Amino acid sequence: MRQETSLKQPDCLPEGHIHPPRQKVTKFRNSDRVFFMREISSPENAPYGFVTKGFCETIGRTPLIRLQALSEATGCEIWGKAEFLNPGGSVKDRAALGIVLDAEASGALQPGGTIVEGTAGNTGIGLALVGNARGYRTVIIIPETQSKEKIDGLRAMGADVRTVPEKPYKDPDNYIRVSQRVADQTPNGFWANQFDNVANRLAHYRTTGPEIWYQTEQKITGFVASVGTGGTLAGVALYLKEQNPDVQIVCADPYGAAMWSWVKHGHTEINDGDSVAEGIGQSRVTKNLEGVQIDDAYRIRDDVAVEMLYHLLLTEGLFVSLSSAINVCGAVKLARFGGRGQVIATILCDSGSRYVSRLYNPRWLEEKRLTPKSNGLEFLDRI
């Protein structure tokens, strides 16, 4: 049963509190439960928070947070897109939903089918939850080097999780290649293929890009992101360049990856060093990255990124991943390189809660020789 009603204006709000505009609300009755749904077009219309129709509709429309101390220190506006506030906890919820919707539309994913993916964790979490919400099983192939929090979390979410030894991409037992084989062998199986399925970057082109563009009031001058699949960097870059070709697109790359080499020198041969950052660190040009204009790239050291990680936590109250800290280091480097007055956005990819046993464990940091030492912002000179 369904009937139209309208939202009653609450009269118990404290002085000065913004009242919500009157909105049309749809009232549903389902057996003995009644619930209300309201179509929300923008956060301005929803001062009490969004009302959505389910998990999938809750993905995206994340806040853009001004990084106060870093903005003051650089004379630029530096903004972090709070992707850790997605319902599955990371930026990869967007890719997961985009890939599933695209596969449903093309018929590659049939009702009751099984989504199979090789993932460092966050895409798996997004796929498992989107899968649950839309009626699919999920099989996740994950390198055993990934954090226990992510692996345990995926199992708790109902995914069939299979860990494999970490192998280079060219090895037939690399986790991505294993996931393709498992998909082929699974009845009604669908291989999400996040690295080379451009539905991934399309999700960012359609959502993350426009959100950043309008949240910065069309004033953005630079966007920085690291690369896992490249979906975020590519999708946002394609959208922003279409709006304003002068927006600088910068890749922040950890050591051990080859994106810096690709952007700076046009080949992927330089991938020296190593990084403990999870979810990023690409050694090849994925289909998601093909044909995208990236203006510059920076290499960011783990020890400096860990300093940033703790700065973000202790000064800004942001509990995030190392990939997020690498992104923010890249944003600061662009700010210092390009000078005052820029408006720079980057991605806060996922929450620190996924890394409590590692990045937020003093003993683990000590073992890796990554214990942060800075009291203030002097580490910015080492980025």
Nearer to ligand PLP by Cβ, of 123 and 342: the residue is 123
Give least dist CB 352 to ligand PLP, A: 11
* Residue 352 within binding range of ligand PLP, rule CB under 6 A: no
Region binding ligand PLP by CB under 6 A among candidate stretches 30-38, 225-233, 267-275, 366-374: 225-233
| Binders in 167-206 for ligand PLP, by CB under 6 A | none
Sequence-distant (≥ 6) Cβ neighbours of residue 113 within 8 angstroms: 136, 137, 188, 189, 190
Query: Is 92 an active-site residue?
Result: yes
Question: Using the rule CB under 6 A, which residue among 80, 189, 254, 279 binds ligand PLP?
Answer: 279
Maximum pairwise Cα distance, the chain:
65
Which listed residue (51, 82, 120, 329) binds ligand PLP by CB under 6 A?
Answer: 120
CA dist 40 and 165 (Å) reads 45
Contacts of 145 by beta carbon, 8 Å cutoff, 6+ apart: 166
350 binds ligand PLP (CB under 6 A): yes
Q: Please name which of 246, 249, 354 lies closest in space to residue 309, comparing C-alpha atoms.
A: 354
Minimum separation from the CB atom of position 129 to ligand PLP (A): 15
According to DSSP, the residues that pair with 78 across neighbouring strands are 344
Q: Is 271 in the site for ligand PLP (CB under 6 A)?
A: no
Kindly tell me which of 51 and 276 has the beta carbon lying closer to ligand PLP: 276
Closest by CA position to 380, among listed 158, 78, 172: 78
Q: Which residues pair with 213 in a beta bridge?
A: none
First and final C-alpha spacing in the chain:
59
Task: Tell me which of 96, 139, 227, 345 binds ligand PLP, using CB under 6 A.
Answer: 227
**Cβ(240)–Cβ(311) below 8 Å:** no
What are the φ/ψ torsions at residue 280 (nearest 5 degrees)? -130, 175
Among 126, 131, 228, 281, binds ligand PLP (CB under 6 A): 228
Give the active site residue among 8, 27, 81, 92.
92
What residues numbered 291-330 form the site for ligand PLP, per CB under 6 A? Answer: 321, 323
Is residue 286 within 8 Å of 319, Cβ to Cβ? no
Q: Which two tokens stand for residue 336?
A: 């210092």
The least CB distance from residue 199 to ligand PLP, in Å, is 12
Which residues here bind ligand PLP, judged by CB under 6 A?
90-92, 120, 122-123, 226-233, 278-280, 321, 323, 349-350
Name the residues annotated as catalytic.
92
